[in-house]
Amino acid sequence: TGPGGVWIFSPEGALLGQILTGQATANCAFGNDGKVLYLTADNYLMRVWLAVQ
């Protein structure tokens, strides 16, 4: 996690993208066989459906 959301990095360390939450995001975990990313941020529990197959 990083300022304002989740930062996604390649194994080489290059920034691939961000999931911006607008909140101080503390933790994240995958669920539903890797199709969902759960995030905790301040007073929120968020669920992000991922485009994976």
- Per the domain annotation, does 49 fall within a domain? yes
Q: 5: Cβ–Cβ under 8 A, 6 or more apart, which residues?
A: 18, 19, 20, 21, 22, 23, 25
- Per the domain annotation, does 17 fall within a domain? no
52: amino acid identity, one letter: V
- Per the domain annotation, does 20 fall within a domain? no
- At 2-45, the pLDDT tens digits run 778 889 899 999 999 988 888 888 899 999 888 999 999 878 89
> What pLDDT shows up at residue 3?
75
> What pLDDT shows up at residue 53?
67
- Evaluate whether 1 touches 7 at the Cβ level (below 8 Å): yes
Domain count, the chain: 1
Global pTM reads: 0.75
Residue 49 lies in domain: 25-53
> DSSP 3-state assignment of 14?
coil
- Per the domain annotation, does 12 fall within a domain? no
- Per the domain annotation, does 29 fall within a domain? yes
Residue 6: HSE in the Cβ half-sphere, 13 Å Cα cutoff: 15
